[in-house]
Amino acid sequence: VLSDPEKRRRYDQFGHAGVGSGAGAQGFDFTDFDLADALRQFMEEGFGFGFGDIFGSSRSGGRRRKVTRKGSDLQIKLKLTLEEIATGVTKKIKVRKKVACPECNGTGSAKYSKTVMCPVCHGSGEIRQVSRSLFGQFVNVTTCHRCNGEGQVIENPCHTCHGSGLIDGSKTIEVNVPAGVSTGNYITLRGEGNAGIRGGQPGDLIIYIEEVPHELFERQGNDVVLYLPISFPTAALGGTIEVPTLTGKAKLKIAPGTQSGKILRMRGKGIPYLRGAGSGDQLVQVQVYVPTKLNDQERQILEKLATSENLDPSKNSHKSFFDKFKEAFSI
């Protein structure tokens, strides 16, 4: 066989199948034919590289030495009040996370221990399973469960972290939250997540903002709405009252004859814009308060006022409800 150049070429390329009894005009038969090996060999001989070079894996154990891995990211929620959102705030938060084991400095190995070849995958980092079918052999390659694809294992694991190189820990972190954030915004702190595996880079800490509902204010974008009850005399006579805002108390002028439901705008008293200058407004919706209990003197005063034509809405509005009713039904 080796003296025949053509047969030697088929033997080098296809092994015994290339020169067996079934090797006729096609040069080989399908007896014990490994399709994955044939494709791999075709790529290596025809193009100078194989599937292992394309997909980052190789049958050779010497190429797989993944000894470090980046730590996983952490996600937490940070609850903020509207007052904190309006001014910006610095928060100190305690984060529970994985930290490097102090006993082994994150290596996972006991003192004077070393790493050895994985006894399961024999250093390749892969487990190969061969299955046969009518079309030949198929090879399924999976990451070795014993060494997690590293090709080597620790001979004597650290007794504190049991070979992982990590232990449970915590850290107090200071985070600066800018004014104007809202629910769903997040802040990423690089390197503040879980520690990396065996000296790998730590993950990140992702802080999601969650706005706490306010007992007085309702947020609408960068504006805030305040529902403010006022007395009937204040609504009728007008005046200046003191109202709460997100940054303290402020004066608000009430015009004489202010109706219930009227919205008064306080410029710049809302939420600052996260990316840009200025702030939203505070919208004050006036609600005229009607008492439910009256003493005798209050009742007598209101009964006298009830007879006044100035307090009759059907005679003092520009177009009374009764006029609109008549127009609607053509009475």
* Least confident range of 34-43, 48-57, 300-309: 48-57
pLDDT for the residue numbered 202: 95
Give me the pLDDT at residue 194, please: 96
* One fold for 74-114+155-211 and 217-290: yes
Query: How far apart are alpha carbons 321 and 325 in whole angstroms?
Result: 6
Q: What is the mean pLDDT of residues 291-302?
A: 90
pLDDT at 7 over 90: no
Q: What is the mean pLDDT of residues 9-15?
A: 52
> Which of residues 184 and 114 earns the better pLDDT score?
184
Q: Is 185 exposed, middle or buried (0-12, 13-18, 19+ CB in 10 A)?
A: middle
Name the nearest CA neighbour of 204 among 70, 68, 66, 69. 70
pLDDT-above-90 percentage for the chain: 50
Full-model pTM: 0.65
* pLDDT surpasses 60 at 2: no
Q: Which of 142-156, 202-216, 256-270 has the lowest mean pLDDT?
A: 142-156
How much of the chain, in percent, has pLDDT values that exceed 70? 74
pLDDT digits (tens, 9 = 90+) for 124-141: 889 988 888 777 788 889
Higher-pLDDT residue of 16, 82 = 82
How many angstroms separate the CA atoms of 290 and 173, rounded?
Answer: 51
pLDDT band at residue 145, thresholds of 50, 70 and 90?
A: confident
Indicate the pLDDT class of residue 276, thresholds 50, 70 and 90.
Answer: confident
Burial 237-260 (b: 16+ CB within 10 A, else e): eeeeeebebbeeeeebebeeebee
Task: Pick the closest to residue 273 from 166, 185, 164 (CA basis).
Answer: 185
pLDDT number for residue 31: 43
pLDDT at 60: 43
Give me the residue spans of the domains in the chain: 5-63, 74-114+155-211, 217-290
Higher pLDDT, 56 or 134: 134
Q: How far apart, in whole angstroms, are the C-alpha atoms of residue 18 and residue 5?
A: 13
Q: Would you say residue 165 has pLDDT above 70?
A: yes
Residue 244 pLDDT exceeds 90: yes
74-114+155-211: CATH topology: HSP40/DNAj peptide-binding domain (2.60.260)
Average the pLDDT over each of 145-154, 196-205, 222-231, 284-293 and give the range with the smallest value. 145-154
Q: Which residue did the predictor score with more confidence, 193 or 61?
A: 193
The CATH number for 217-290, chosen from 1.10.1740.10, 3.40.50.720, 3.40.50.970, 2.60.260.20, is 2.60.260.20
Inform me whether the pLDDT recorded for 46 exceeds 50: no
Contact 305, 245 (CB under 8 A): no
Dump pLDDT digits (tens) for 256-271. Answer: 999 999 999 999 999 9
What is residue 17's DSSP assignment? G
CA 302/CA 233 separation, integer angstroms: 11
